[in-house]
Amino acid sequence: MANDSSTPASRLPSDHRELVLKVIPMPADCNANGDIFGGWVMAQVDLAGAVLPARIVKGRMATVAVNQFIFKQPVRVGDILSFYSHVTRIGRTSITVMVEVFAERFSAQGQYVKVTEASLTYVAIDHEGRPTPIAEEAKAGWVAPA
Report the CATH number at residue 54.
3.10.129.10
Q: In whole angstroms, give the CA distance from residue 35 to residue 11.
A: 24
Q: Would you say residue 7 lies in a domain? A: no
Q: What is the pTM of this model?
A: 0.86
pLDDT tens track, the chain, 146 positions: 344 444 444 455 546 789 999 999 999 999 999 899 999 999 999 999 999 999 999 999 999 999 999 999 999 999 999 999 999 999 999 999 999 999 999 788 888 999 999 999 999 999 999 999 998 888 887 766 55
116 alpha carbon, distance to own chain's centre: 9
Residue 67 structural domain: 18-140
Q: In whole angstroms, give the CA distance from residue 110 to residue 106.
A: 9
